[in-house]
């Protein structure tokens, strides 16, 4: 099973796929509750970050939030992908779609390797979709090979 980037698997023989990446700016803020929610999205062009995550809301609710007078927030800035950055989002334009198709054709001919997941399929998945996809791949191979 290969879950890495499909162009990397084939040594970028047709060129590199483009991605968008994210730069995280973390801050310790001296307030118990910064934004009242785990994630707040910012879609205004004038604001340079796309969302702020306040991590404690994932695990704490109600009064417990206020037991600690500090909080950690992360601002997320959308950036161009570069080789040292994490590949976050595929770029679904004609160039990248055609390039991915060439790699996908090669992957279909590869024996004994299952290509799966957001990087090998060059596709954005939410967590629930990726779990459904992983189970479908497992089921298909179990029924094929036992
Ligand atoms: C910025 C961002 C925010 C998201 N927010 C949400 C959200 O709020 N809600 C939601 O439901 N989903 C969200 N998702 C989507 C969710 O993270 C993905 O659907 C899920 O992680 C995809 O699982 P995956 O196994 O395909 O890929 P990954 O989780 O990325 O796993 C791929 C694995 O392959 C490994 N790998 C990479 N290259 C190689 C290699 N060359 N050789 C071997 N192994 C390799 C990696 O180390 C990694 O362990 C978000 C995704 C991103 C990028």
3-state SS string for 28-59? EECCCCCCCCCEEECCCCCCCCCEEEEHHHHC
> In the listed set 80, 115, 132, which residue is the last one of a domain according to the structure?
80
Token pair in block for residue 60? 């704490």
Residue 106 and residue 141 in one domain = yes
Average pLDDT over residues 72-97: 94
Question: Could you tell me if residue 86 is inside a domain?
Answer: no
Specify whether the backbone of 33 is left (phi greater than 0), alpha (psi in -120 to 50) or beta: beta
Task: Count up the domains in the chain and report the number.
Answer: 2
10 lines ligand 1 (CB under 6 A): no
Token pair in block for residue 93? 């334009």
Is the predicted pLDDT of residue 83 greater than 90, yes or no? Answer: no
- Residue 68 gets which letter from DSSP? S
Domain span including residue 112 = 6-18+91-145
Question: Could you tell me if residue 85 is inside a domain?
Answer: no
44 lines ligand 1 (CB under 6 A): no
Is the predicted pLDDT of residue 144 greater than 80, yes or no? Answer: no
- Residue 93 gets which letter from DSSP? S
User: Which tens digits make up the pLDDT trace of 85-124?
Assistant: 899 999 999 999 999 999 999 999 998 899 999 999 999 9
Question: Could you tell me if residue 28 is inside a domain?
Answer: yes
Reported pTM: 0.84
Question: Could you tell me if residue 46 is inside a domain?
Answer: yes
Whole-number mean pLDDT of the chain?
Answer: 94
Going by pLDDT thresholds of 50, 70 and 90, the confidence category of residue 138 is: confident
CA of 95 to the centre of ligand 1 (A): 23
Pocket test for ligand 1, best of 119, 122, 128 (most atoms within 8 A of CB): 119
Residue 29 and residue 14 in one domain = no
pLDDT for position 140: 84
């Amino acid at each position: 099973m290969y879950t890495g980037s499909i162009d990397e698997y084939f040594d970028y023989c047709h060129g590199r796929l483009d991605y968008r990446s994210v730069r995280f700016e973390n801050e310790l803020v001296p307030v118990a509750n910064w934004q009242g929610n785990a994630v707040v999205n910012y879609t205004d062009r004038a604001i340079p970050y796309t969302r702020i995550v306040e991590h404690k809301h994932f695990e704490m609710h109600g009064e417990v939030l206020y037991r600690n007078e500090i909080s950690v927030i992360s601002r997320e800035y959308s950036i161009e992908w570069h080789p040292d950055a994490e590949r976050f989002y595929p770029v679904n334009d004609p160039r990248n779609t055609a390039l991915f198709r060439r790699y996908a054709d090669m992957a279909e001919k590869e024996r004994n390797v299952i290509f799966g997941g957001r990087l090998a399929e060059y596709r954005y998945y939410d967590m629930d979709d990726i779990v459904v996809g992983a189970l479908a791949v497992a089921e298909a191979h179990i029924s094929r090979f036992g």
